[in-house]
Amino acid sequence: MIEFIRSNQGYFEDFITRNIYHSNRIEGSTLSYAETYAIVFNDNSFTVSAAPREIYEAINLKYALAYMMEHCQEPLSLDLIKHIGIQINKNINEIDGFRRVPVMIRGAEHVPPAPGMVPNMMMQFIYNYEKTVFSSPFERAAQAHIDFERIHPFADGNGRTGRVLINYEMLRNDLPPVVIPSDQRTEYFKLIADYDVPGLTKFFEELSAREQARIDQLQMEPTELEDEETLES
């Protein structure tokens, strides 16, 4: 899957743009899809009018995704997670590692652990990620995503970082990636808030299957697409 993404420019741009657009929109970004594409792939034919933070959010997530894809065949490590978190916060809320301040999660009842607990909790997070036996990569991704968001290890950018890590798990298992639609934000947040691992597992399975269908459609020969259009007309 990772080689397909790298070698298929059309799908690469499609996946990266959708991932960035929806992940940032979940966090409140106002960038349109077209503006996101223009920023990420330097399309100067489209005029972008946006706050600097939103521009950096798009660019940073592009490079965080690129880093993840370069290292998705490696065991998960604290350094890999920190690098992603630092990249996502670049030029916005410069950080050099895990948070040293208390944080709250907007709209959530759960209070993340005190900053002094974060390093040990993240070491345990890595151990559980690599050593626990799960029924599928989807279940591992779901358990890890909920745990990561509850720890909230960075001062900012935890949602974006956590969603990058979902696709670390998908791609290292040669599975279609996951793009969480911003219009399913409420359902997604509820699954995390309820610590609903089975529900989030199913959610990821469905989104990965949806992505495979999109990949299949993009791989169709032009004649196949024309035949489908004829049948539908």
pLDDT tens string 26-57: 999 999 999 999 999 988 777 788 889 999 99
Q: Report DSSP state, residue 113.
A: P
Q: What is the pTM of this model?
A: 0.91
Query: What is the pLDDT, as a whole number, of residue 228?
Result: 44
> How high is the mean pLDDT of the chain?
92
Query: What is the pLDDT, as a whole number, of residue 233?
Result: 42
- Single out the residue of 27, 28, 26, 50 nearest to residue 36, CA to CA: 50
CATH code matching the domain that covers 2-223, chosen among 1.10.10.10, 1.10.3290.10, 3.40.50.970, 3.90.1300.10:
1.10.3290.10
Both ends of the chain: CA-CA distance in Å?
33
Residue type at 40? V
Q: Report DSSP state, residue 115.
A: G
Burial call 83-109: b when 16+ CB within 10 Å, e when fewer? bbbbbbbbeeeebebbbeeebebeeee
pLDDT, average across residues 160-177: 97
Residue 232 has pLDDT above 60, yes or no: no
At 220, is the pLDDT very low, low, confident or very high (cuts 50, 70, 90)? low
Question: Residue ranges per domain, the chain?
Answer: 2-223
- Single out the residue of 41, 70, 22 nearest to residue 171, CA to CA: 70
pLDDT, average across residues 137-166: 97
pLDDT tens string 48-100: 888 899 999 999 999 999 999 999 999 999 999 999 999 999 999 889 999 99
pLDDT, average across residues 141-155: 97
Give the chain's length: 233
